[in-house]
């Protein structure tokens, strides 16, 4: 299984305890909606399916470009993640993305890492969902791209482990990036530092 496929699969599994989160979301929307609000529930479902398609397309390195404009690409990615994963879970997303360009392979691997971090936060950081916020910052600093994903959730209780952390570590190695994580009462913050090409 490719890193893109694994990350997309984990994105789909973001809703707690559901083996079919999109189907569960549809059932929940239709159950809540009642007959007169069915069209609204169908519209929400359609927007979410389209967002998952956009997310899949963004995470699939199609090799058409040698250099990718960072600002437009990651703003689009953050929008797709928000629509597909975060908004249905009641989680807000804020993003500050600096302009620049990256080689396509680095850009797509960084996107996979960012998606993994955001979906992990959505899955584990917010048991209450009240005031849930994930913040994404991406900037070029001193010859390196610095990407930070921070949440205001419960905070990780230990080191990153499991399939997601192995995916992150492998992707980080492939782009010569370093990962740094911090957690506390105010949430979790993971920073990726990648040399600018």
pLDDT tens digits, 103-161:
998 999 999 999 999 999 998 899 887 889 999 999 999 999 999 999 999 877 766 66
Cross-strand bridge partners of residue 146? 139, 193
**Spatial CA neighbour of 123 closest among 148, 147, 156, 97:** 156
CB 106 within 8 A of CB 147: no
Q: Which residues of the chain have pLDDT under 70?
A: 1-36, 61-63, 158-161, 197
Phi, psi of 132, deg, nearest 5: -65, 130
- pLDDT, residue 40, reads 74
Burial of residue 65, with CB atoms counted within 10 A of its CB: 0-12 exposed, 13-18 middle, 19 or more buried: middle
- pTM of the prediction? 0.77
- Would you state the structure tokens that stand for residue 78, as one six-digit string? 């953050």
Query: Tokens 């990718």 identify what position?
Result: 68
- pLDDT, residue 65, reads 77
- pLDDT, residue 35, reads 55
User: In degrees to the nearest 10, what's the CA dihedral of 45, 50, 55, 60?
Assistant: 130
- Would you state the structure tokens that stand for residue 27, as one six-digit string? 């059932």
Supply angle C-alpha 159, 163, 169, rounded to 5: 65
CB 51 within 8 A of CB 83: yes
Domains assigned to the chain? 3-195 (3.30.565.10)
Residue 39: CA count within 13 A, CB half-sphere: 1
- pLDDT, residue 193, reads 97
- Would you state the structure tokens that stand for residue 140, as one six-digit string? 């070029």
């Amino acid at each position: 299984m490719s890193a893109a496929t694994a990350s997309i699969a984990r994105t789909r599994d973001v809703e707690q305890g559901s083996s079919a989160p999109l189907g569960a979301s549809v059932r929940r929307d239709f159950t809540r909606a009642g007959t007169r609000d069915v069209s609204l529930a169908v519209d929400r479902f359609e927007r979410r399916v389209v967002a998952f398609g956009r997310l899949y397309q963004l995470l699939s390195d199609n090799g058409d470009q040698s250099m990718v404009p960072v600002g437009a690409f990651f703003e689009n990615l953050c929008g797709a993640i928000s629509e597909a994963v975060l908004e249905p879970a009641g989680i807000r997303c804020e993003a500050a993305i600096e302009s620049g360009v990256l080689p396509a392979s680095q850009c797509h691997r960084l996107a996979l890492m960012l998606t993994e971090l955001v979906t992990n936060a959505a899955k584990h950081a917010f048991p209450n969902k009240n005031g849930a916020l994930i913040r994404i910052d991406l900037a070029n600093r001193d010859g390196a791209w610095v990407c930070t994903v921070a949440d205001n959730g419960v905070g990780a209780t230990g080191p990153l482990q499991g399939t997601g952390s192995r995916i992150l570590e492998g992707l980080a190695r492939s782009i010569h990036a370093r990962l740094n994580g911090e957690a506390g009462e105010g949430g979790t913050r993971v920073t990726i530092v990648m040399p600018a090409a």
